[in-house]
Amino acid sequence: MLVDGSPPSGESSEEIVGIASDADVVTARHTGRRVAESVGFTGSDLTMISTAISELARNIIRYAVTGEVVVSPISEGSRVGVMVVARDNGPGIPDLDLAMRDGFTTGTGMGLGLPGARRLMDEFAIASQVGEGTTVVVKKWTRGL
């Protein structure tokens, strides 16, 4: 029996990418694309998933310096998809509502990374504690056969 959120095979096939440099951001994007392809995503969905991963990984570099991105195949009933967890032990985000607004940035960015990732994916959750770190969890489901 498949439990919600478990990999289709029942065995863990999550891919963990440590994030500490721009090269790691590229690795995370490619890893996400590969896992997404393995569960059946194609075309623009692959671009959306890798773009979301890229934004979350860039935020780790920019604001938390280091962290990790974990990409996993997921299933729920008959649907399959990918889950991306981006987490760090950085400074945290004091006001999540503000951080999720289009155009809000404390840096030199466009302030579209977090809201963009939310739009690109089907599910989005963010948890953050000042002084503890930030965890973003996003999921996307295939449209099925």
Ligand X SMILES: Nc1ncnc2c1ncn2[C@@H]1O[C@H](COP(=O)(O)OP(=O)(O)O)[C@@H](O)[C@H]1O
CB of 63 to ligand X, least distance (A): 4
Q: What distances in angstroms separate CA 67 from CA 3, 7, 52, 85, 141, one per listed residue?
A: 28, 23, 16, 11, 25
Residue in 31, 59, 75, 134 binding Mg ion, rule: CB under 5 A: 59
What is the distance between the alpha carbons of residues 79 and 57, in angstroms, rounded to a whole number? 26
Positions in the binding site for ligand X (CB under 6 A): 55, 59-60, 62-64, 88, 90-91, 93, 99, 104-107, 109-115, 134
Give the dihedral of Cα atoms 66, 19, 21, 115; nearest 10 deg: -90
Is 39 or 99 the residue whose CB approaches Mg ion more closely? 99
Is 17 or 61 the residue whose CB approaches Mg ion more closely? 61
Binding mask 114-133 for Mg ion (x = CB under 5 A): --------------------
- Are 93 and 134 a contacting pair, CB within 8 Å? yes
Q: Which residues bind Mg ion (CB under 5 A)?
A: 59, 109, 113
